[in-house]
Amino acid sequence: LALALVSVALVLGVLTEDSCSPDSSRGKLALSWDCCKVPKEIVGDDFPTKMKKCADKFPLPSKPSETLTADIRPVARNVHVCAAECLFDEMDLLTSDMKLDRTAITKVFVSTHDPLEDFDAVLIPAIDKCFSSYAEEIDQALECKSGAKEFDHCLMRETFLHCPKKMWSNSSECADLKAKVTKCPEYPVVLVPITP
CATH number, domain of 106, equals: 1.10.238.270
pLDDT in tens, 131-174: 999 999 999 999 999 999 999 999 999 999 999 998 999 999 99
CB count within 10 Å of CB 12 equals 21
Residue 196 lies in a domain: no
Number of structural domains (the chain) is 1
Q: Which residues contact 175 (CB under 8 A, 6 or more apart)?
A: none
8 Å CB contact between 99 and 146: yes
| Residue range 108-127: mean pLDDT, rounded | 78
**What is the structure's pLDDT at 194?**
61
pLDDT in tens, 75-92: 888 999 999 999 999 999
Number of alpha helices (DSSP H) and beta strands (DSSP E) in the chain: 9, 0
Q: How many CA atoms lie within 13 A of 93 on its CB side?
A: 24
Residue 47 lies in a domain: yes
Residue 192 lies in a domain: no
Alpha-carbon torsion 195, 192, 22, 137, what sign? positive
* Domain limits for position 109: 2-183
Residue 146 lies in a domain: yes
Residue 139 lies in a domain: yes
Please state the pTM of the whole predicted model: 0.81
Residue 148 lies in a domain: yes
Residue 127 lies in a domain: yes
Residue 178 lies in a domain: yes
The one-letter amino acid code at 38 reads V
